[in-house]
Amino acid sequence: MEIDALVRQAGFAWLDEQTRKFGNALPYRILKEGFSVEGRTVPLVGPQGIFKPAILPEIPLTIMTAAPKIGRPAPYDDELTSDGLLIYRYRGTDPRHRDNVGLRGAYETATPLIYLYGVAAGEYEAAYPVYVVGDDPAALTFVVDVAPAVYQAVVGEDAVEEIPRAYKRRMTLQRLHQARFRRQVIAAYGDRCAICRLRRVELLDAAHILPDRDPRSRPIVPNGLSLCTLHHPAFDRHVIGIRPDLVVEVRADVLTEEDGPMLIHGLQGFHGATITVPRTPDLRPDTEYLEERYSLFREVG
């Protein structure tokens, strides 16, 4: 097997293993340490977003989108087409720069790459294999297919149904965006639940104030709440509500229910409590969003 194909195959297998160990958000230090091929170390990241380790002759191994600072857009963030393709920007403005030439080579030879999407400072989700499927020197962008294989979903005991490629692309990119939203919201809340102050990041979620299905809903911190895995579903299912003045309410039937200590201390005990919010005013929950969501809570309750 040629060294280029050997490195890429080993890289995909290594990422599978690291994801099993660390979850989907991979630490930068692990990506920088990389893996070994024929006694040589192969890192996955370097100082630039388009990265080719020394072991490879011409074509890069990874492309990266860095996470923006919380509350700010990334200077070179990815963009989506209507069918979920990734628009990836050139390095600089010279189409003949060696990094851009390398990605153009990936396009011309249909060479698989690894896409590293920054979800927080020092944390990346990996999508692989991805392929460059277009090159637009005038716009200084490449087009990347992040989910080239047709996805098959089991719909019965033996039957499978092919899901269109464009749908899988959108789902892959939505997964990446939601991962970044989660980390930004949790970080803005100091890595703790806004209601109970639990500080176990692995047990925290980013809850949308305006539901994700709402066309106005956006994955931005003012539309999010850092909630633990108990209070997130309770908020989503209107067991608890949060008033625009940041006070928690427990639904009346739940508040009067008699059960065990989990109900008392996990839900009922927070009735009337004030949630913790980010210190930075621009990152705090949008009051209009809270008012609309609280109105829905009152309507359901």
Higher pLDDT, 147 or 82: 147
144 and 217 share a domain? no
Residue 164's pLDDT is 65
Q: Residue 187 falls within a domain, yes or no?
A: no
Q: Which of 123, 142, 175 marks a domain boundary? A: 175
Question: Could you list the residue range(s) of the whole structural domain that residue 289 is in?
Answer: 192-300
Into how many domains does the chain fold? Answer: 2
Question: What gap in Å lies between CA 101 and CA 95, rounded to an integer?
Answer: 7
Tokens in use for 115? 């896409």
16 and 157 share a domain? yes
List pLDDT tens digits, range 98-143.
999 999 999 999 999 999 999 888 899 999 999 999 999 999 999 9
Q: Which of 125, 140, 175 marks a domain boundary? A: 175
Residue 174's pLDDT is 77
151 and 206 share a domain? no
Instruction: Tell me the chain's radius of gyration from C-alpha atoms.
Output: 22
9 and 83 share a domain? yes
Question: What gap in Å lies between CA 166 and CA 82, rounded to an integer?
Answer: 9
55 and 88 share a domain? yes
34 and 72 share a domain? yes
pLDDT, mean of residues 244-265: 92
Mean pLDDT of the chain: 88
pLDDT at 171 over 80: no
* Strand boundaries in the chain, DSSP class E: 26-27, 35-37, 40-42, 50-51, 62-65, 79-80, 86-89, 113-120, 123-136, 141-145, 151-154, 160-163, 204-208, 224-228, 240-242, 248-250
CATH code, domain with 157: 2.30.280
9 and 96 share a domain? yes
Other Cβ atoms less than 10 A from the Cβ of 284: the count is 16
Please name the residue that has the structure tokens 């099993």. 20
Q: Residue 77 falls within a domain, yes or no?
A: yes
Q: Residue 186 falls within a domain, yes or no?
A: no
List pLDDT tens digits, range 12-53.
999 999 999 888 889 999 999 999 999 999 999 999 899 999
pLDDT at 219 over 50: yes
23 and 164 share a domain? yes
pLDDT at 165 over 80: no
pLDDT at 1 over 70: no
Residue 284's pLDDT is 96
Question: What gap in Å lies between CA 6 and CA 1, rounded to an integer?
Answer: 6
288 and 251 share a domain? yes
27 and 141 share a domain? yes
Residue 144's contacts (CB-CB under 8 Å, 6 or more residues apart) are 63, 85, 86, 87, 88, 113, 115, 130, 131, 132, 133
Q: Residue 183 falls within a domain, yes or no?
A: no
Instruction: Assess whether the previous peptide bond of 129 is cis (omega < 30° from 0).
Output: yes
Which pLDDT band holds residue 154 (cuts at 50, 70, 90)? very low
255 and 296 share a domain? yes
Residue 221's contacts (CB-CB under 8 Å, 6 or more residues apart) are 70, 71, 184, 185, 188, 278, 283
Q: Residue 271 falls within a domain, yes or no?
A: yes
List pLDDT tens digits, range 53-108.
999 999 999 999 988 776 555 545 567 676 778 899 999 999 999 999 999 999 99
Residue 150's pLDDT is 45
Q: In 3-state terms, what secondary structure has residue 221?
A: helix
147 and 216 share a domain? no
Tally of helices (H runs) and strands (E runs) in the chain: 8, 16
